[in-house]
Amino acid sequence: GIQVEQSPPDLILQEGANSTLRCNFSDSVNNLQWFHQNPWGQLINLFYIPSGTKQNGRLSATTVATERYSLLYISSSQTTDSGVYFCAVPYNQGGKLIFGQGTELSVKP
């Protein structure tokens, strides 16, 4: 089956810093989602981005489908950005999501 790898596994930032999270996947995909899991466990949709670049406020994402990776950029980080960031891709016709292991981000004041 498809493999999804995220890096780095952990990241500590000072408030105001920028960061880039990476997601590599082992096969061609027709969808990719980025999620933020907040400290209460809720998975919040950030981006649906099978290809190209999207921006939403301080966050942006780029997927290069031909090279099988996606990047999530966080600019001017805030303490509320802390949590775990997951990327996920669908597998087989039903679209069940295969998740990476996540990047745990901690933003210090």
Residues that bind another protein (CB under 8 A): 30-31, 33, 35, 40-43, 45, 48, 50, 86, 88, 90-99, 101-102
Question: Least distance (Å) from another protein to the CB of residue 26?
Answer: 16
Place of tokens 């990327």: 87
Phi, psi of 57 (to 5 degrees): 65, -125
Q: How far is CA 86 from CA 24, 26, 79, 93, in A?
A: 12, 16, 18, 21
Instruction: Report yes or no: 99 and 86 within 8 Å, Cβ to Cβ.
Output: yes
1 vs 109, beta carbon nearer another protein: 1
Question: Least distance (Å) from another protein to the CB of residue 102?
Answer: 7
Question: Least distance (Å) from another protein to the CB of residue 105?
Answer: 16
22 vs 75, beta carbon nearer another protein: 22
29 vs 74, beta carbon nearer another protein: 29
Best CA proximity match to 7, nearest among 18, 19, 16: 19
Question: Least distance (Å) from another protein to the CB of residue 90?
Answer: 3
Place of tokens 């921006």: 55
